[in-house]
Chain A
């Protein structure tokens, strides 16, 4: 909600729609374009495929939205995904013999989630106690975690996973990829958290004005630390799903994923300055990114061009969004 929304209340219905939902409309235009030009884009198989990729990204992006709204950033999520996958795979390989597959994977998953949470809180504590910006701490973690993941695997994929583990990342439930359920649940949960709980309201307050929030009796550091911890947990969940999907724990998975996650959040209208943003916007952002990646593959754009085009499209989408919002 901004001054703009108040102004958007005037004007004719078409321009009102454009002002109120610029990014939604840009996404719609992109989808229509791809349906018309990309062969097979609208087929059920492809849609489910897109949703599966989007899910892995989105689960983390919802957490990242909260982190960015609170005025912080987490650059370590890509490495976190790799670490979580390797932890799960390591426990699965090591313990399946003695405890059975289910127990081994469960323990690995819980350890990964615990590590993710603690890393997030650690980042927050560095900020709280020693004033190290989360940008720096997570930049350090970005390389540290990647290294740790490779140390666990010894540089080789850990692929000796129990049968059935593949279901979480690659399986279907009622015809829909399993990760999509987790994605939907995360969306609903985060939407509820940010909009209807005092914790969520506090996240906005803390990101909008730390001092005013503190003087309003909000425990500002608890809010920031928990938000970062939550993102660590979501990163671990996504990492586990990805390991399951590719069938192994690999130290180099999800390279560069943090940039996609942050791009999705920003495309969704969340401000890097903190204090504003919506979970719904991030949903639009991740779907937007998923469609671009998928569309370019279908259109046979060469890999190097894909990078160039993707960057250009992300930038133009954000620019267009700003322009549309400005037009009064």
Chain B
């Protein structure tokens, strides 16, 4: 009894209270007098549509940005962290929405950055590489990722980077852990492992704020759910007392849900894209498939199965070693992204920060970046010529960006993702590869993106769709190829399979 009582008083030190916290960015009120008490030792989910202020709330708590007004109390004590370091020292640790590993350092160094273990050799303190890498390897193993900690962070996929960030945060022994969409790039297996870690931390009395757009995760992991709308606190519910519909209603008011249009028959006589025997050593081999106009083809597979690499090689972003790629019946293997783009192929990359967007340029410039040939046939570009392209995407995708002249980095994560999609929609391609298009977008916006994919497909667009959420692949696609260890191991019809079956195929490959 005494130990429990002791722990209770102990954790009540970590009671987290927001008092009328506001944050203004120029004309945008990102957070509007947010007041709430987060009880210690529990997992608190934060929900709300894209741009509702979730990341802003977390960044303020983490000392990354200063609030315009209001105060934050931890255990009754006023705390206003001036720098991220202050928050860190106080045991408030954050996994930010945008990945922030240092690409030139190894995985191990990234995990222990700022607290590298030392040994004394010849009387001098030196970095203890052996201990560092051993500890990093153990931590990664706990998350089910057997990566060599000596690898450079730049060589990791988005999902792997996300795992490393999580490992890094977990390894610091936090009092309060802030997780901003930690699962947006993770597949089922990694999500399970993460939840295991969260449970263990919770048992140790760590409080957590957890942002996600995946409703299914809430019931599994969260104790309470706090909903934000336009920066204001809409309400907080105990997860035990609510369900999905209740939360969605809090997020959007009464929301209309787009549902999948009935499946059409796809004429499979003239493929628009034919890939045969494509190989890139160390990444994938023997990739052959046809893609037909109007078809949405899904690639299902685990992190690191080679899905993204295949698309990048077809698009010309990486070189393939062998095989053939025919687009509109012309051999195009070895073409550059520019030539592919001109031939009508588009690719929305999975990593919006590194590959999708030029962060410091305006939203408008980013939306028009891939379609200058179309907007400016004589190479003369004016805003007047660009405006229709900009506004159509802002409207079709409901991008919340204030002034499109503001740099795209000022947009919330989900809205940035929409800009990546919009950029390629503007090129009006005949084939479009969607690599994780729904990463970090809210439930409603996700429906909008799917809706657009279906609409364009009905109009003849051929698409390849990748998502780590297999439910999405099943719903969106007309046909699914299962990728395992760099090879296509199965082709499945989404109407004739189940989620469990698809998951099993992704995990194990085909049964012999």
Q: List residues of chain A with CB under 8 Å of any chain B CB.
A: 1-3, 5-7, 9-10, 196-202, 204-205, 208-209, 211-219, 275-276
Chain B residues in 8 Å Cβ range of A202 = 372
Chain A residues in 8 Å Cβ range of B341 = 216-217
Q: What are 25 inter-chain pairs, A to B, with CB distance below 8 A?
A: A1-B362, A1-B406, A3-B26, A3-B407, A5-B406, A6-B27, A6-B403, A6-B406, A6-B410, A9-B26, A198-B372, A198-B379, A198-B380, A205-B358, A208-B360, A209-B354, A213-B369, A214-B317, A215-B315, A215-B347, A215-B356, A216-B341, A216-B370, A217-B337, A219-B336
Alpha-carbon separation in the docked complex, A217 to B373 (Å): 10
From A1, A215, A216, A219, name the one whose CB has the most chain B CB atoms within 10 angstroms.
A216
Cβ-Cβ contact count across A and B, 8 Å cutoff: 103
Chain A residues in 8 Å Cβ range of B347 = 215
Chain B residues in 8 Å Cβ range of A217 = 337-338, 340-342, 370, 427
Contact of A201 among B315, B360, B365 (CB under 8 A): B365
Contact of B505 with A by CB under 8 A:
no
Majority-rule SS of A interface residues: helix
Chain B residues in 8 Å Cβ range of A216 = 337, 341, 369-370, 423
B residues 227-266 in Cβ contact with A at 8 Å: none
B residues 335-362 in Cβ contact with A at 8 Å: 336-338, 340-342, 347, 349, 354-362
Q: Are A7 and B355 in contact (CB under 8 A)?
A: no
Chain A residues in 8 Å Cβ range of B336 = 219
Alpha-carbon separation in the docked complex, A219 to B373 (Å): 12
From B360, B379, B403, B423, name the one whose CB has the most chain A CB atoms within 10 angstroms.
B360
> Contacts A201-B372, A276-B360: A215 and B355 contacting too (C-beta < 8 A)?
yes
Q: Are A196 and B381 in contact (CB under 8 A)?
A: yes
Contact of B405 with A by CB under 8 A:
yes
**Identity of the chain A residue whose Cβ is nearest the Cβ of B368 in the assembled complex:** A201
Contact of B376 with A by CB under 8 A:
yes
Contact of B511 with A by CB under 8 A:
no
Q: Are B403 and A208 in contact (CB under 8 A)?
A: no
> Contacts A208-B358, A208-B359, A214-B317: A219 and B27 contacting too (C-beta < 8 A)?
no
Alpha-carbon separation in the docked complex, A52 to B340 (Å): 48
Chain A residues in 8 Å Cβ range of B360 = 2, 208, 275-276
Alpha-carbon separation in the docked complex, A202 to B366 (Å): 11
Q: Are B381 and A201 in contact (CB under 8 A)?
A: yes
Alpha-carbon separation in the docked complex, A288 to B240 (Å): 67
Alpha-carbon separation in the docked complex, A2 to B360 (Å): 7
Alpha-carbon separation in the docked complex, A313 to B237 (Å): 60
Alpha-carbon separation in the docked complex, A3 to B361 (Å): 10
Taking the closest CB of chain B, its distance from the CB of A261, in whole angstroms, is: 23
Chain A residues in 8 Å Cβ range of B423 = 216
Chain A residues in 8 Å Cβ range of B365 = 201, 204-205
Contact of B25 with A by CB under 8 A:
yes
> Contacts A2-B407, A219-B336: A212 and B358 contacting too (C-beta < 8 A)?
yes
Chain A residues in 8 Å Cβ range of B372 = 198, 201-202
Alpha-carbon separation in the docked complex, A1 to B403 (Å): 11
Q: Are A212 and B407 in contact (CB under 8 A)?
A: no
Alpha-carbon separation in the docked complex, A199 to B378 (Å): 11
Contact of B26 among A6, A196, A276 (CB under 8 A): A6
Contact of B510 with A by CB under 8 A:
no
Q: Are A214 and B407 in contact (CB under 8 A)?
A: no
Q: Are B405 and A1 in contact (CB under 8 A)?
A: yes
Alpha-carbon separation in the docked complex, A200 to B410 (Å): 23
Alpha-carbon separation in the docked complex, A2 to B362 (Å): 8
Contact of B380 among A196, A208, A209, A215 (CB under 8 A): A196
Q: Are B361 and A204 in contact (CB under 8 A)?
A: yes
Chain A residues in 8 Å Cβ range of B337 = 214-217
Chain A residues in 8 Å Cβ range of B379 = 197-199
Taking the closest CB of chain B, its distance from the CB of A20, in whole angstroms, is: 13
**Identity of the chain B residue whose Cβ is nearest the Cβ of A275 in the assembled complex:** B360
Taking the closest CB of chain A, its distance from the CB of B6, in whole angstroms, is: 47
Contact of B358 among A10, A199, A204 (CB under 8 A): A204
Taking the closest CB of chain B, its distance from the CB of A128, in whole angstroms, is: 13
Question: Hey, what's the 0/1 contact readout for B393-429 against A, CB within 8 Å counting as 1?
Answer: 0000000001101110110000000000001000100
Q: Are B26 and A209 in contact (CB under 8 A)?
A: no
Across the A-B interface, the 7 shortest Cβ-Cβ residue pairs: A217-B341, A208-B358, A198-B372, A6-B26, A216-B370, A7-B26, A209-B358
Contact of B497 with A by CB under 8 A:
no
Taking the closest CB of chain A, its distance from the CB of B423, in whole angstroms, is: 7
Q: List residues of chain B with CB under 8 Å of any chain A CB.
A: 25-27, 315, 317, 336-338, 340-342, 347, 349, 354-362, 365, 368-370, 372-373, 375-376, 379-382, 402-403, 405-407, 409-410, 423, 427
Alpha-carbon separation in the docked complex, A197 to B407 (Å): 20
Alpha-carbon separation in the docked complex, A10 to B359 (Å): 23
From B341, B359, B375, B381, name the one whose CB has the most chain A CB atoms within 10 angstroms.
B381
Q: Are B358 and A275 in contact (CB under 8 A)?
A: yes
Alpha-carbon separation in the docked complex, A283 to B407 (Å): 24
**Identity of the chain B residue whose Cβ is nearest the Cβ of A10 in the assembled complex:** B26
Alpha-carbon separation in the docked complex, A263 to B481 (Å): 56
Q: Are A196 and B382 in contact (CB under 8 A)?
A: yes
Chain A residues in 8 Å Cβ range of B357 = 209, 212
Alpha-carbon separation in the docked complex, A196 to B423 (Å): 19
Alpha-carbon separation in the docked complex, A5 to B405 (Å): 10
**Identity of the chain A residue whose Cβ is nearest the Cβ of B349 in the assembled complex:** A215
Chain B residues in 8 Å Cβ range of A5 = 405-406
**Identity of the chain B residue whose Cβ is nearest the Cβ of A192 in the assembled complex:** B380
Taking the closest CB of chain B, its distance from the CB of A106, in whole angstroms, is: 29
Alpha-carbon separation in the docked complex, A205 to B338 (Å): 14
Chain A residues in 8 Å Cβ range of B355 = 211-212, 215
Alpha-carbon separation in the docked complex, A201 to B359 (Å): 14
Taking the closest CB of chain B, its distance from the CB of A294, in whole angstroms, is: 35
**Identity of the chain B residue whose Cβ is nearest the Cβ of A210 in the assembled complex:** B358
Alpha-carbon separation in the docked complex, A200 to B361 (Å): 13
Alpha-carbon separation in the docked complex, A36 to B347 (Å): 60
Taking the closest CB of chain B, its distance from the CB of A189, in whole angstroms, is: 13
Chain B residues in 8 Å Cβ range of A196 = 380-382
Contact of B361 among A214, A218, A275 (CB under 8 A): A275
> Contacts A197-B381, A198-B381, A201-B381: A3 and B356 contacting too (C-beta < 8 A)?
no
Alpha-carbon separation in the docked complex, A211 to B312 (Å): 12
Taking the closest CB of chain B, its distance from the CB of A214, in whole angstroms, is: 6
**Identity of the chain B residue whose Cβ is nearest the Cβ of A6 in the assembled complex:** B26
What 9 additional pairs, Cβ within 8 angstroms, besides A6-B406, A200-B381?
A7-B26, A9-B27, A10-B27, A197-B380, A202-B372, A204-B361, A211-B355, A217-B341, A275-B360
Chain B residues in 8 Å Cβ range of A7 = 25-26
Alpha-carbon separation in the docked complex, A209 to B351 (Å): 13
Taking the closest CB of chain B, its distance from the CB of A19, in whole angstroms, is: 11
**Identity of the chain A residue whose Cβ is nearest the Cβ of B382 in the assembled complex:** A196
Taking the closest CB of chain A, its distance from the CB of B411, in whole angstroms, is: 11
Alpha-carbon separation in the docked complex, A2 to B406 (Å): 6
**Identity of the chain B residue whose Cβ is nearest the Cβ of A4 in the assembled complex:** B26
Q: Are A198 and B338 in contact (CB under 8 A)?
A: no
Alpha-carbon separation in the docked complex, A109 to B468 (Å): 61
Q: Are A3 and B25 in contact (CB under 8 A)?
A: yes
Chain B residues in 8 Å Cβ range of A6 = 25-27, 402-403, 406, 410
> Contacts A6-B403, A6-B406, A6-B410: A197 and B358 contacting too (C-beta < 8 A)?
no
Taking the closest CB of chain B, its distance from the CB of A188, in whole angstroms, is: 14
Alpha-carbon separation in the docked complex, A216 to B375 (Å): 14
